[in-house]
Amino acid sequence: MKKRVWLIALMFCMALAGCSLSPGPYLDPARMQEPTPDNSTAAAYPVHLINAKVIADQAKTLAKDDPRTNMLPIEPLANNGYADYRVGPGDILGITVWNHPELTVNATTGQAAATDAGSGAVSAGAPGSSVTPDGQRVSADGTIYFPTIGRINVGGKTTEQISNLLMSRLAGYAVKPQLDVRVVQFRSQQVYMAGQLKNPGTLPITDMKLTLIDAITRSGGAVTDADLQRVQLTRNGKSYVLDVQRTLDHGDISQNIVLRAGDIVYVPDHNASRVFVLGEILKPQTLYMDKGQLTLADALSGANSIDPQSAQPRQILVIRRSASDPAKPTIYRLDMTQVDAILLSTQFDLQPLDVVYVGTADIARLNRLLVQLLPTVTSLYLLYSVGH
C-alpha cells in the first residue's frame, strides 16, 4: 500500500511540474522578461453604439475627410494645360517639300530621289545624318540636317514651329516654299505603366493627349485584383493618389488627368482595401472591398454570419484606426438583438483595415472552462480512487 501511495504522490508531483515534462511544443520562459502590467496607464476607449445618429455622422465625416477628395493638387481635365506636342531627341520626323525635287534626299541611301510624279512631294534627308526609311531621327542634341540649310535645332519645337523655321530659311532659295512637317514615330516622351495591369510597360506621348484612363485601357486594362480607387501617380518626384473608379462610376473627370512625359502610373492590388472578420464567427476571414465599399452586414454575411452556439449578439464590434493617431482605436458596437440595429448594419460602411470582432457569450466561456477543467478533475478523481 505504501508503494502505491508513493507512486501516486510521484505522479502528482510530475503533474504539478507542468509542461516542462510533458510532450509537445514548449517554450522555456526563464530567459524572457515580461513587462510589469501597469493598469494605471491603460487607456479606456469609448464605445459608440451604432444607431441612426452614428450613421449620419459617419456619412458627413467621410464626405469631409475622404482622402480621395484631396488626393491630387492638379487642375481638372479642362484646365490641365494640354499643349501641342514638342519634338525631342529620338523622334522620327517626316518633312515633305512640294515641287522642289532638288531638295530631295533618299532617306536610306542618301542619294537624290525623283519627285512623286502624281503629287510632286519629296522627303528631306541628308548624307551622313541619322535617318530611317520613313524619316529622319532627331539627334541627341535636338538637331536634324536639312539640304541647303545644314543642321537646324528642332528640339522643344512643335511641328508648326519647325515648318515656319524651314520656310524662313528656304526663303532665299525657293519662292514661297510649301512644307509639311510631321512626327512619323514618337520616341522621345513616354509614360511608365506598372502594377496590376494586363500589359504593363511604356506608352508614348503623342500629338494626341493621353489621359489616365486611356493609358490604363491601352495597357490592356486592370486585372481582377486591381484597386482602381488608389492609383498612384509619380510626377517630378512627388507621388499622388487618384480614384479612377470614381471617374468610371460617377463621371468625375477631375481624376482622369492628362499624363505628361516621365509620369509613372502604378495600379496597386486590393490588399490595402481589406477588412478582418474575427471572433465568434462561423468562418473568420479577410474580406476585400468591392470598389471600395463594404457594409457591416456584408462583412458578417460574407463570413457566414455569427456562430449561434457561442457568439454574443449584443457585442458586434467594429474596431477602427484613428486617422490622427493610428495607435488609438475608435470602437463601434452593434446590438443584433434589436431589429433596427440589424437594418442599420446595412448602412454602416466599413473602412479599409477595419476589424470586425464578434464577442463571446458568457455561457460559452463557462462551457469552455469546464471542458478545460474536466480532464484535470477526472485525473484527480482517479488518483483519489486509487488511493482508497
- The reported pLDDT for the residue numbered 126 is 42
Cell of 345: 448594419
Percent over 70 (pLDDT), the chain: 77
Domain ranges of the chain: 45-62+272-364, 75-82+189-268, 92-185
- The reported pLDDT for the residue numbered 68 is 46
Cell of 7: 507512486
Give tens-digit pLDDT for 285-308. Answer: 999 988 778 999 999 999 999 999
C-alpha 29/C-alpha 33 separation (Å) is 8
CB atoms under 10 Å from CB of 124, counted, come to: 27
CATH topology of domain 75-82+189-268: Outer membrane lipoprotein wza fold like (3.10.560)
C-alpha 184/C-alpha 178 separation (Å) is 19
- The reported pLDDT for the residue numbered 120 is 41
| 289: nearest Cα among 240, 349, 347, 242 | 349
Which residues of the chain are modeled with pLDDT < 50? 19, 65, 67-71, 74-79, 105-131
Amino acid at 359: G
Q: One fold for both 45-62+272-364 and 92-185?
A: no
- The reported pLDDT for the residue numbered 317 is 93
**φ, ψ dihedrals at 247, nearest 5°:** -65, -45
What mean pLDDT, rounded, does the chain reach?
A: 79
Classify domain 92-185 by CATH architecture.
Answer: 2-Layer Sandwich (3.30)
Amino acid at 183: V
* Cα angle: 289, vertex 319, 231; to 5 degrees: 35
Place of cell 495607435: 327
- The reported pLDDT for the residue numbered 119 is 39
CATH of domain 45-62+272-364: 3.10.560.10
Percent over 90 (pLDDT), the chain: 34
- The reported pLDDT for the residue numbered 193 is 96
C-alpha 344/C-alpha 82 separation (Å) is 47
- The reported pLDDT for the residue numbered 97 is 80
